[in-house]
Structure 1
Amino acid sequence: MQFVDEAPIRVEAGRGGNGVVSFRREKYIPFGGPNGGDGGDGGSIYLIADRNVNTLVDFRYIKHYSAQNGHSGMGQQKSGCAGEDLVIRVPVGTKITDVDADEVLGDLTEHGQTLLVAQGGRHGLGNIHFKSSKNRTPRQCTSGEDGDDRNLLLELIVLADVGLLGMPNAGKSSLISAVSAARPKVANYPFTTLYPNLGVVRVSPESSFVIADIPGLIEGASEGAGLGIQFLKHLSRTGLLLHVVDIVPEDASDPAQNIVIIQKELEKYSDELLDKERWLVLNKIDLLPEDEARALCERIVSDIKWQGPVYQVSAAQRQGTLKLVQDIAYALERNRKVDDEEEPMRASVPVDEDFDF
């Protein structure tokens, strides 16, 4: 399925039906008086989050959505039918922005969550509302009002607990394949990953988390180079970032310098993303003898003066991935406990030792 994470659409709510001028006319009842009914309200437009919808690709082909207009009123005090509301299903994680007003209308982050994006027009009034002791035969009524008309931008931001970032070919796709059931394309050339991938990591029958992989970043990404910068927004909702680094890059570049490049791109993109908790994952240690790999990893950490957690893994050989997954599960549980103002307990995260990471 084609992955589309942005889509502009236009929504037009229904116009309210007009009120009418009408008088009661029956045999033997002279001067029956006004009996013009009201119009019906115009239909409104709602967006609803649906876990069964995974992409915004359908909105590339249908860009204009209109709700039904309300019907005009009738005589005998009969009101017109209201226009039917229009419900549009979008993926969970969709942010809705009014383009003309530059205003975020809402963020649908839960299945079934609903957002009104265009209010239907109010109905017009029939002449029965204008009768009085001084005006027994009112000949005025009101027209229905126009509904809201908006240009919207739908942005799909994937929901994940953990996000992977790093240079192309750092091994992010290999890592998500090693720890989850996700099977993204893995190949030995830059930008193998063209769109975000999600994987569910099962730590035990009672504990799991979602991990997201985005295309690799390169120097100048914040100015439009490469692919990854347009997908960085997908990491904005994660609770933890894993900075994956190839310790023996094929282009013979310095791994420490590559880390600095990514940090600068994050800083240019968003201070909020830069300030997120970030762990360093030094990947592909299987390509060097154990002592040499350990010394190289220590040199990288020393050169960049890294203060956070550091993990040495081989995603291809699943070496070191079990401890990484266990620590991630504990950290996520700890953060949830902190949010609930409870003291975290490491034993509260059960681990399935038989699970193959």
Structure 2
Amino acid sequence: MHEVKAVVAKSVKEPVSLETILVPDPGPGEALVKVQACGVCHTDLHYREGGINDEFPFLLGHEAAGVVEAVGDDVTTVAPGDFVVLNWRAVCGDCRACDRGEPQYCFNTHNATQKMTLADGTPLSPALGIGAFAEKTLVAAGQCTKVDPQARPAAVGLLGCGVMAGIGAAINTGNVSRGDVVAVIGCGGVGVAAIAGAALAGAGAIIAVDIDPKKLEAAKAQGATHTVNSSETDAVEAIKAIAAASAGHAGADGADVVIDAVGRPETWEQAFYARDLAGTVVLVGVPTPDMKVPQIPLIDVFGRGGSLKSSWYGDCLPSRDFPMLVDLYRQGRLDLDAFVTEEIGIEDVEAAFEKMHHGDVLRSVVVL
């Protein structure tokens, strides 16, 4: 048993606290990881606010990188000393999706069996089955993806959630191709990552849409060729005009792929009407349970054709995607460092939530 410091949300909408927690030695199928860095993600705030479920207390943190310290006797995929990025898609290998060769859609992902607890024995619910605002955490071995140990933990740990969600929304879900016109609505961490993904895929024009000039500048740094401040102009009409000019064809009626990285009915409707005929809408922003699909005439859905998709974790397969993206980072082709706005201590998570709320950061990263 290991006594470590960790960030815990004990009750809904209350400030988090730094607690001593107990982490068991790994059993079958488990790995103990010494956490080196963990990003502060909106999902952690959703947990604290009660927006995920009510299984308090939560052990927060999930965008993490670290070193495997110990593994269960039956674990062969990772070993002590391996540098890993943690993920929340430990595939089962035996569900319908896995059996048909699509493990990125695994229906039965799993986490560690044993529970981490508060010092008094109260079981903790780890965020996304990880719980990495902690000096050490216990996860399923399949949640550990071995990557280049020369990579910077604070940067590559962000692949564990937001950055992978954005890049994957463009590359995996949206199937962005060379020369495509791509629009991304919402330029927080996930949206800017979607822009980076579109750039990696060779998109011809990449349109960033937001109401914050600072976020639009961050989008340009990751490859946006055009920006639209939707507080000043109609986003749909602006995207259509840019798409027509970029395609060199007056008949173009929108972008080939529009990614909604906000996840609100209003932005999804903008994405729907901003895509070209037979274009693709990708929803990667996370809506709240009370939000409804806008009242779009069904004839418009039929008449415009194309695809309306949701992207869950960027439709990623960590064992395939994480090492590839870390290699691109090491080659200087993917600027993950740009997503790290600040490095903070484990005691600064609550302050980081405030900065996130005000849109002051792409990511604050806890460095241990």
TM-score (norm 2): 0.24
Higher Cα Rg, which structure = 1
Structure scoring higher RCO (CA < 8 A, sep ≥ 6) equals 2
Higher helix share: 2
